[in-house]
Amino acid sequence: MSHKRIPKRKAAIAVGGVVALGAAAILLPNANASQDGNNDASAAAPKTLKASGASDLAAQLQDLLGQAFAGSYYDSGKQQLVVNVINGDNNVIVQAENAGAVVRQVANSTSALEAAAATLKTKATIPGTAWAVDPKTNKVVVTADSTVTGSKWDTLESTVQSLGSNMATLKKSSGTFKTFVSGGDAIFSQVADGEVRCSLGFNVTASDGSPAFLTAGHCGVAAKDWSDTEGGQPIATVDQAQFPGDGDFSLVKYNDATTQAPSEVNIGNGQTVAINQAEEATVGTTVFRMGSTTGLHDGQVTGLDATVNFQSETDPNGVDTVTGLIQTNVCAEAGDSGGSLFTQDGGAVGLTSGGSGDCTSGGETFFQPVTTALQATGATLGDAGAGAGDAGATADPSATADPSATDGTGDQAGGDQIGGAADPSATAADPSDAAGDQTGTGDDTGTGEATGTGDQTGTGDQSGTGVSDNSNESSHHSKNR
């Protein structure tokens, strides 16, 4: 296939796939309406906050309280920020309460929890393990996947026990921790032993002003040149990549400097969520993840500054340790790596890294924070290139889907649907069909199939013609990352 400039609606191959909403994905757009607190006589009454407001307040209180700050989380039921403090200084408590938070005293300081995590790193860096601070329990939660058995389990268990039951807890996961390479709308790269498939997360503007996108770092170290079609000519080149170590992110620049790269996430049926800012994750907040294998799913942030020890893909006896990740209970599967984690209000939160489980049984998933990826690469969120792409209908990602619908969508790139203009009123595919690709034609009259476990691929033009490939592929030919 000869190289050609990407059509306008094809500029941003990232977060597509037919919508596959879980039944729990119900958010109330008008809830958490007040940012000013309750209008009563008590200055110390907790404020009612949106998740984004809670994140901002948490950052302010962390600076204000200093060493007394021991973490925070968002109570989504009451729409309140809960802040942990470690001493009984009434002045500290009053300051936090006057700022609008619910304050509770806890036993473990942030420094003590960090020291516990450091001990785990020194004594229990075992493939298939992960740990993160849970501010709700004020402990470090350690998770072991199904591969941690025998002497490895004994070592992990004894290390956790040495920290004390008031400091750390240990739980077992039925799945296996692995990187979820692929996701959103697929991007492809040819390598010596086959093809690597990943996903674009968010469109950004590189520090030199050129259009680019963020994806997972393990994708960027696996291959340098990326295409928007299977076996196609490269349309973007890796500029920076980090994996393993302090993060899992890549900055990939479009080869055509005039590429239109809109700052939005396509959630199917011609609907998009505009991405307005990068947001820090807060434990307890509801987030959405988009991926090519499983579509759109939601869940909650369960931990911050997580460390994950993946089995090395290049060394059978090695371990790829990644730090600084966000832990969630949002499901994901192979094919979802690099895809976007975002909020209903249009906040870019994370890039899919890896985890265990699937979208049938659930599991733990980990994400690279967008804020640190932007800081490390020097990129900024926002439309890049020669203007923005055409936006679809502004969508609420929590809207429920109609399982009886048969209309599908083609590949959907960078918030723009590259399979053609779909009817925003069209309903989505059955969320229970998570095991297979949910793809179809890009126009309203096409059909979407939810069968097979193959890659979601497709080509589309602005006139609305989308071709989807639901064929199964073996890992010998295509590596889902």
> What angle, rounded to 10 degrees, do the helices at 90-98 and 51-65 form?
150
Residue 39 neighbours by CB distance under 10 Å: 7
- Give 175: exposed, middle or buried? Use CB within 10 Å, 0-12, 13-18, 19+: middle
* Catalytic entry in 228, 248, 320, 469: 248
Residue 24 neighbours by CB distance under 10 Å: 12
Concerning whether 248 is annotated as a catalytic residue, the answer is yes
Round to whole Å and give the CA distance between 77 and 162: 35
371: alpha, beta or left? (left if phi > 0; alpha if psi -120 to 50): alpha
* Catalytic entry in 52, 182, 218, 411: 218
- Which tokens sit at 335? 């094919």
DSSP state of 60: H
Distance of CA 410 to the CA centre of its chain: 22
For residue 123, give the 3-state DSSP assignment: helix
Distances from the Cα of 366 to the Cαs of 212, 245, 289, 349, in angstroms?
23, 14, 11, 12
* Catalytic entry in 72, 109, 189, 337: 337
Residue 126 and residue 148 in contact, taking contact as beta carbons nearer than 8 Å? yes
Residue 190 neighbours by CB distance under 10 Å: 15
For residue 441, give the 3-state DSSP assignment: coil
Distance of CA 319 to the CA centre of its chain: 22
Distances from the Cα of 391 to the Cαs of 345, 421, 475, in angstroms?
16, 10, 35
Those residues whose C-beta lies under 8 Å from the C-beta of residue 448, and which sit 6 or more positions away, are 18, 405, 406, 407, 408, 409, 429, 438, 439, 440, 441
Concerning whether 55 is annotated as a catalytic residue, the answer is no
Round to whole Å and give the CA distance between 407 and 396: 19
Catalytic residue numbers read 218, 248, 337
